[in-house]
Amino acid sequence: MRSAMKAEWMQSQTSEMDGLWRRGVFQKVLCSSLTPQDRVFTSRFHDKIKQKKGKFEKCKVRLVVQGQHMRLKGEDCVGDYNDAFSPKPVDSRVHTILSLATQQNMYTDQVNISQAFVQGELLPGDSHNGKAHIFAPLGYDKDHLYVYHLFKPLYDTPCAALAWNTTMSVFLAKEGCATVGF
C-alpha cells in the first residue's frame, strides 16, 4: 500500500474485519487440524472509493472469497457448492419492505443492510465436505499457521446470493409476506 490514502484504507479494512468477527462469520483454526480432503480458498480485500455528488465520501473495503476456484458439485457429489444464484431485486419486493416499515410505524427513506450477505447462513451442501475455509487476505493476518473456518457466506462465493435470498425470504414470510421472496 503506497497510496496517499493508506490510513483510510487500513481503517476500512479493520472496520470490515471487525464487523465480520462481530457477526460470527468465521473462526481461526490451525492448519494442522485440517484433513487432506479439506480445501482452503484464497480471499482478498476488494477496495472501492465511494463518492457522493462527485466528491470523495469514504474508502469501502469488502472481504471476498476468490470463488472462481470453486467447483460445482457433480452427480458424484464432488465439488464445493450445489447451486449458484443471483437474485435481482424488483420493485414489488422493495414496495413490500416499505409497506412493512409503514405497518410498523417506522420512518424509512433508504434501505441499506450492512454486510448483507453475511446476514445469511451457509446452505447445506455449500461447502467442501461440509466445511468452508479461507486463507486470511493479503495484508491482514500474517500467521500462516491458521486459516479461517467460515460459518456464513462471504461475497463472491457462488452460494452467497442464494443464502441471502433464503434468509430474507424466511424473514419476510415470518412478517406475513409469504408470497414475496427477495
> pLDDT tens digit string along 26-54?
999 999 998 887 778 888 888 888 888 88
- pLDDT higher than threshold 50 for residue 179: no
Write down the pLDDT at residue 72.
54
Question: What SS3 class is residue 14?
Answer: helix
- Bigger pLDDT: 12 vs 140: 12
Q: Average pLDDT of 142-149? A: 86
Residue type, 170: V
Nearest to 61 by CA among 133, 130, 22, 7: 7
Q: Is 103 a domain residue?
A: yes
Domain that holds residue 81: 6-174
Phi-psi category of residue 95: left, alpha or beta, with phi > 0 → left and psi -120 to 50 → alpha: alpha
Structure confidence at residue 181 as a pLDDT band (50, 70, 90): very low
The reply to whether 180 falls in a domain is no
Q: Per mean pLDDT, which range of 39-43, 81-85, 152-156, 157-161 is the poorest?
A: 81-85
> Do the domain assignments include residue 151?
yes
Banded model confidence at residue 182, pLDDT cuts 50, 70, 90: very low
Check residue 85 and give its pLDDT.
54
Please tell me the least confidently modeled range out of 87-96, 143-152, 155-164. Answer: 87-96
Whether 179 is covered by a domain: the verdict is no
* Inside any domain, residue 182: no
Q: Residue 166 pLDDT more than 50?
A: yes
In a domain, 89, yes or no: yes
- Output the pLDDT for position 158: 67
Q: How many domains would you assign to the chain?
A: 1
Q: In the block, which residue shows the cell 472462481?
A: 68
pLDDT tier for residue 21 given thresholds of 50, 70 and 90: very high
- Measured in whole angstroms, how far is the alpha carbon of residue 26 from the centre of its chain? 11
Instruction: Let me know if residue 1 belongs to a domain.
Output: no
CA-based nearest residue to 128, from 36, 45, 18, 49 = 36
Instruction: Please check whether residue 169 lies inside any domain of the structure.
Output: yes
- Provide DSSP, 37-105: T--EE-EEEEEEEEEETTEEEEEEEEEEE-GGG--B--TT--SSBS--------HHHHHHHHHHHHHTT
Supply the DSSP symbol for 28: E
Q: What is the pLDDT of residues 49-83, one digit of tens each?
A: 888 888 988 888 888 887 655 655 556 655 555 55
